[in-house]
Amino acid sequence: MKARALVAWNVRRIRVGRGIPQEQLAYDARIDRSYMGRIEQQKENPTIDLLERIAETLDVHLSEFFVQPTKGATAPKTLPKGRKPKRPRRKTR
């Protein structure tokens, strides 16, 4: 797996595993949400300084972004769509 794909895979794996929306991670790491999305889509080549900020935000060591997935590992699932959490439905009378 190429380095950019490896970083994208691991950033998404860690973020989704912790239940952090992409928008929140981008905000906390002080980067644009769309740029964060492009990192996870392998469309951007982030600097080491930016990767360090993302790692600090996720509270992981930078080396976690370069861990090879096990053979047959499936891509991390996405979080539910939308920017707002679902609210429970009101009971009708």
pLDDT in tens, 29-62: 999 999 999 999 999 999 999 999 999 999 999 9
pLDDT computed for residue 53 by the predictor: 95
pLDDT in tens, 62-77: 999 998 888 877 777 7
pLDDT band at 1 (very low <50, low <70, confident <90, very high): confident
The DSSP code sequence of 18-66 is TT--HHHHHHHHTS-HHHHHHHHTT-----HHHHHHHHHHHT--GGGGG
What residue spans define the domains of the chain?
Answer: 3-66
- CATH fold of 3-66 reads 434 Repressor (Amino-terminal Domain) (1.10.260)
Is residue 83 over pLDDT 60?
Answer: no
Give backbone dihedrals phi and psi of 3, rounded to 5 degrees, phi first: -60, -45
pLDDT computed for residue 4 by the predictor: 92
